[in-house]
A and B are shown apart, each in its own frame.
Chain A
Amino acid sequence: MSDSNRPEQARTIRVGALARVEGEGALHLAMRDGKVDLVKLEIYEPPRFFEAFLRGRDFREVPDITARICGICPVAYQMSACHALEKAMSIANDVDPAIRTLRNLLYCGEWIESHVLHIFMLHLPDFLGYESAISMAADHAPTVKRALRLKKLGNAIVAAVAGRCVHPINVCVGGFYSPLSEQAAAGLLPETRACLDEMCDLTLFLAQKLQYPDFERDYEFVALCPDNEYPMNQGRIKSSRGLNIDQQEFGEAIEERHVEHSTALHAVIKGRGSYMVGPLSRLNLNADKLHQRAAELLPKVCKAVGKELPWRNNFLSLPARAIETVHSLALAADILAAYKKPARSFVPVTPRAGAGAHGTEAPRGICWHRYSTGPTGAIESARIIPPTAQNQMTIEEDLWKMAEQVKSLSDDQACHRCEHLIRNYDPCISCSVHFLKFDRRWK
């Protein structure tokens, strides 16, 4: 990295982006007279070829195809696709409660493995001052080992329900090709209960021992808000500023805009502006529906971090993810303990022309799909709005504020603080430690 510009001098900073990330991030800052003049966050999002090449495919292929959009949250894409297509096929109301419960169990597995990977391998090193999880592990081996155990369990739950933890193969429109066996469910229960206790302990550790930077903004939080459960698969879409719409209306309620400096679209709520999806939004809007084990922890966590809900500081997304992990483990344990093999694992589907839209709560936020089908069930149109894309504008707005805070820091320090902020959102681009091309110019 070359030296940065200071008010008296002109120089350019570039940080080489690593090739191993799914997307590259480039941040350009322009400072004028000591103030932030320009912030551009360029995210090189892969083109949405999925929406194009789904056209003409049979609707039954969509869950397997969309699972390939993401390697860490394939379940989210499969669930959103299934729910949307079940609406298109007019069988959404026919899906058995037992199948819905299995879907929740599957989502629990995904939240556990995704949240734990992010909390302990990607985000915690920032808070503890380490370059990476590898260097952190040398000093915090017991914590890392406990995290790896949790992640392994999350993967095991996904594999047991959906056949495979990477790009699951047992999910179909209408349910599952084959149901989880009672023996497999019983086999997972002891480890799930043990990991639940571990995660409660780790959650308190994260709340009590970490220093959370002071960084509050007035976000519009958006999440699914079901009546009687913490959101995963179902619920109306609501916000902290009064949005309250049916799933079908979400595509019309938001607008995706092309911006010159990025291939990532910026999503806004029409007539308003940017918004946030993800764990902080879910927790702020649905804390009263947490599982009892997580609900009991929440006051202790709030006391430890010094803030009652709603949290407006996205550095607190880390304890929010931890609480959600506790919730997922507790819910999974309940489901496994009571599990009986369902009478049928899927609802038969007769292809028809139709249209349907649905969003489910991926670990990073609402993942929303809309499909229209022809008379044979072939896909005529597809629209997929991933959570990371919805947060792009909000991330950039955060960086405007952060750029002001870090203007007196060196470029290395400023870059690290910006990366840390971006990791609050757990976007796909943060798979690597240093993904950011950092370019700051002083005028």
Chain B
Amino acid sequence: MAEIKPILVACCGNPLAGDDAFGHLVAMRLLRDPPPGCEILDLATNPASLLDHLEGRRVLIIVDAAEPGHGEAGELFECDWRDPNRPAFINQSDLSTHGLSITQQLELAQSLGVLPEVVRIIAMTITSAQVYAKSDAKVLEQSAAASRRVAELAGWLA
């Protein structure tokens, strides 16, 4: 019987870029107290490596910041990657340097037949991703809420 790999929780975000640190902060919380059955991946410095971790996974949870203009600033939202009505920002492909963006990696994974059965996105709408800026206090607050939501999802999806 093929080994069942843990749920992959992939957290994206630059810890040095203001509110973009949201995903990284969630990763730090989850790494201190990982939900059962989860593997936590902090993609802070290498988002283009997500594809390396997908094969054999049934469930992927992505945690990331969303640009201003997608919902109220400071609010969390959640969607399924396969939802045809998913927010437009998820379709952006200009998110990485010299590598495949998160969206491109998911699309490539789909083409290769390795996209997990369940791909859930948890995002927080931020106001600024300015480099060397401090994160807004709301980011810290919502990173705790997002961590709790990841644990909740992991319990349902395991």
Contacts and interface: CB of A to CB of B under 8 A. Distances in A.
Interface of A: 18-22, 70-72, 117, 121, 133-135, 137-138, 141, 144-145, 148, 152, 155, 164-167, 428, 431-432
B108 A166 contact: no
Given A22-B97, A72-B97, A72-B98, A152 B52 contact: yes
A70 B108 CA distance: 24
A71 B98 contact: yes
A71 B52 CA distance: 18
Interface of B: 45-46, 49, 51-52, 92-95, 97-101, 104, 107-108, 111-113
A274 B27 CA distance: 49
The B contact surface, by secondary structure, is loop
B107 A134 contact: yes
Contacts of B45: 164, 166-167
A346 to B, nearest CB: 23
Given A166-B46, A167-B45, A144 B98 contact: no
A20 B93 contact: yes
A154 to B, nearest CB: 12
A144 B46 contact: no
Given A20-B93, A141-B113, A166-B46, A71 B99 contact: yes
Contact of B111 (A22, A70, A135, A431): A135
A134 B108 contact: yes
Given A18-B94, A134-B108, 8 more contacts: A20-B92, A20-B94, A70-B98, A71-B97, A117-B98, A121-B100, A141-B111, A167-B45
Contacts of B111: 134-135, 137-138, 141, 144
Nearest to B45: A166
A155 B43 CA distance: 14
A73 to B, nearest CB: 8
B140 to A, nearest CB: 26
B52 A117 contact: no
A72 B97 CA distance: 8
A428 B98 contact: yes
A251 B108 CA distance: 43
A134 B97 contact: no
A145 B112 contact: yes
B113 to A, nearest CB: 7
